[in-house]
């Protein structure tokens, strides 16, 4: 007779991004067998992106898996953020570390490659089977299991299927009868990692904005003296440059910001500059059906403002593992997971969408008043309640057996 923590068939996970790998590790730590299937070849998994901020809600979730020390060793602890104008005058400061929860792990800024590498190492140590270079193309459900179909013609059986396969998820597409078209934010980002800090102190997320060109962005340490930077601009979707021209374009965008942003772009190798149009999904509350559910961007891809996309994928993963480890019936477990996660993610997304919909003002004086007076005043009043709630850890502290606690 299978027990809740040892089903006869593994939980199948489509996608080895931040969400899929965290789910695989969390489930394995709770004694639930898993198998992960990732479309990219093994050598390419750690090669994506530049730098991420992983806020305390998510570092604390990773802490329950015993990863806090590795995160802090690879990345850089974050105390808060500073927003400056084009003349490097401070508009406001955010003191996010003040609004973390007692006993939680500090927020960390880290390169995406280092975070994925750290998760893969932990999965390997835990014995997680990771199959690379195979794409999930669909699934079939039966009364006692689910079959995931792969693009190499194989069909693998499991107790349930987790679609952690990102914004263009094959699992989401089948669940909703076709892939919902990702929405374009109207902004594209140029990103890179400078090997030198160019004077930026560690511990602060430095945010900058140029009112005239509407170029904005940020810079933050990602460990080892390196600084990740991003420059975003308003542009039509789908435009592409030749990769050799990306640094040139980033240099042009940074020109009206002659201080730190320009220096960081100049210090970055041309081949290390990447570009991404920022997309997201309409909000959907139906994440699953029967033995299938979604996690991370597949369930709730959101714009990058507030830096909570990967954090919410990590929260999903530990809550999902908690639900599957504590229910006999996987179908009941998946619905319990969705019930716990949907209200939380809906709230986080609402905060993000408020920022995205912040009105663009063209009148020079009104713009000055809003940017220099109204916005800092609103942020001063609201930052405590916003960051306190954003950084709420998804599980009670110290309650996970065999997980190494929160630190
Ligand atoms: C510019 C930028 C900056 C960001 N900054 C932050 C930040 O600072 N903090 C933060 O928390 N979030 C940030 N985000 C958001 C964050 O990157 C995403 O929310 C996060 O990566 C989602 O993780 P995921 O595992 O759900 O999906 P993904 O990272 O998209 O991973 C999905 C995985 O599934 C694989 N896959 C896809 N299709 C299939 C298939 N059919 N079969 C098998 N495998 C498949 C993919 O190859 C990939 O490995 C940022 C995003 C962008 C674009």
Residue to mutate (ligand 1; options 149, 166, 220; most atoms within 8 A of CB): 166
d(CA 60, CA 337): 19
Among 88-97, 206-215, 305-314, the range of highest mean pLDDT: 305-314
**So what's the pLDDT on residue 7?**
47
Cβ neighbours of residue 399 under 8 Å, at least 6 residues apart?
Answer: none
**So what's the pLDDT on residue 403?**
36
d(CA 247, ligand 1 centre) in Å: 23
Least confident residue range of 21-25, 96-100, 237-241, 285-289: 237-241
Residue to mutate (ligand 1; options 54, 109, 165; most atoms within 8 A of CB): 165
Average pLDDT of the chain is 90
d(CA 337, CA 335): 5
- Phi-psi bin for 238: left (phi > 0), alpha (psi -120 to 50), beta? left
- The two beta strands, 145-150 and 155-158, are antiparallel
Instruction: Using pLDDT thresholds of 50, 70 and 90, give the confidence band for residue 8.
Output: confident
Sequence spans of domains, the chain: 11-78+91-182+281-358+386-390, 185-278
* Number of the ligand 1 atom closest to the C-alpha atom of 189: 1
d(CA 283, CA 306): 17
For residue range 327-372, what is the model confidence (pLDDT) as tens digits?
Answer: 999 999 999 999 999 999 999 999 999 887 766 666 666 666 666 7
Pick the CATH number of 11-78+91-182+281-358+386-390 from 1.10.10.10, 3.40.50.2020, 3.50.50.60, 3.10.20.340: 3.50.50.60
CATH number of 185-278: 3.30.9.30
Instruction: Using pLDDT thresholds of 50, 70 and 90, give the confidence band for residue 6.
Output: very low
What is the pLDDT averaged over residues 296-312? 96
High-pLDDT (> 90) share of the chain, %: 76
* Number of the ligand 1 atom closest to the C-alpha atom of 302: 19
Q: Give the residue, by CA position, lying nearest to ligand 1 atom 17.
A: 310
Residue to mutate (ligand 1; options 18, 310, 349; most atoms within 8 A of CB): 310
Residue to mutate (ligand 1; options 12, 14, 18; most atoms within 8 A of CB): 18
Q: Measuring CA to CA, which residue among 224, 244, 166, 227 is closest to residue 192?
A: 227
Q: Beta-strand (E) ranges in 143-243?
A: 145-150, 155-158, 160-163, 183-194, 204-210, 215-221, 227-234
**So what's the pLDDT on residue 239?**
81
Answer yes or no: are the C-beta atoms of 358 and 379 closer than 8 Å: no
Q: Which residues line ligand 1 (CB under 6 A)?
A: 14-20, 37-40, 52-54, 135-136, 164-166, 170, 189, 276, 278, 296-297, 304, 307-311, 313
* Number of the ligand 1 atom closest to the C-alpha atom of 19: 25
For residue range 133-173, what is the model confidence (pLDDT) as tens digits?
Answer: 999 999 999 989 999 999 999 999 999 999 999 999 999 99
Q: Give the residue, by CA position, lying nearest to ligand 1 atom 14.
A: 309
pTM attached to this predicted model: 0.93
């Amino acid at each position: 007779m299978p027990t809740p923590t040892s089903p006869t068939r593994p939980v199948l996970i489509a996608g080895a991004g931040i969400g899929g790998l965290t789910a695989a590790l969390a489930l394995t730590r709770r004694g639930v067998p898993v198998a992960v299937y990732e479309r990219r070849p093994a050598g390419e998994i750690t090669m994506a992106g530049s730098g991420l901020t992983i806020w305390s809600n998510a570092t604390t979730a990773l802490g329950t898996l015993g990863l806090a020390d590795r995160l802090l060793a690879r990345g850089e602890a974050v105390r808060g953020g500073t927003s400056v104008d084009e003349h490097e005058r401070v508009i406001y400061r955010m003191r996010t570390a003040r609004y973390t929860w007692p006993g939680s792990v500090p927020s960390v800024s880290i390169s995406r490659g280092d975070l994925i590498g750290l998760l893969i190492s932990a999965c390997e140590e835990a014995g997680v089977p990771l199959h690379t270079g195979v794409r999930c193309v669909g699934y079939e459900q039966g009364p006692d299991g689910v079959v995931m179909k792969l693009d190499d013609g194989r069909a693998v059986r499991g107790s349930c299927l987790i679609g952690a396969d990102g914004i263009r998820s094959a699992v989401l597409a089948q669940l909703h009868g076709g892939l919902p078209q990702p929405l374009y934010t109207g902004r594209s980002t140029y990103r890179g990692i400078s090997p030198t800090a160019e004077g930026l102190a560690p511990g602060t997320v430095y945010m900058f904005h140029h009112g005239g060109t509407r170029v904005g962005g940020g810079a933050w340490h990602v460990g080892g003296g390196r600084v990740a930077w991003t420059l975003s601009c308003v542009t039509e979707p789908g435009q592409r440059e030749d990769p050799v021209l990306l640094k040139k374009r980033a240099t042009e965008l940074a020109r009206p910001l002659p201080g730190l942003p320009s220096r960081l772009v100049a210090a970055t190798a041309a081949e290390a500059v990447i570009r991404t149009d920022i997309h997201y999904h309409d909000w959907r509350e139906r994440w699953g059906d029967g033995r299938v559910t979604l996690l991370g961007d597949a369930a709730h891809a959101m714009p990058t403002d507030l830096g909570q996309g990967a954090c919410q994928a990590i929260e999903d993963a530990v809550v999902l593992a908690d639900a599957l480890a504590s229910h006999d019936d996987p179908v009941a477990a998946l619905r319990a997971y969705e019930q716990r996660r949907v209200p939380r993610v809906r709230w986080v997304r609402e905060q993000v969408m408020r920022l995205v919909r912040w009105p663009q003002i063209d009148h020079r004086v009104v713009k000055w008043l809003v940017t220099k007076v109204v916005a800092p005043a609103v942020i001063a009043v609201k930052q405590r309640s916003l960051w306190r709630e954003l950084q709420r850890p998804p599980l009670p502290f110290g309650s996970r057996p065999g997980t190494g606690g929160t630190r």
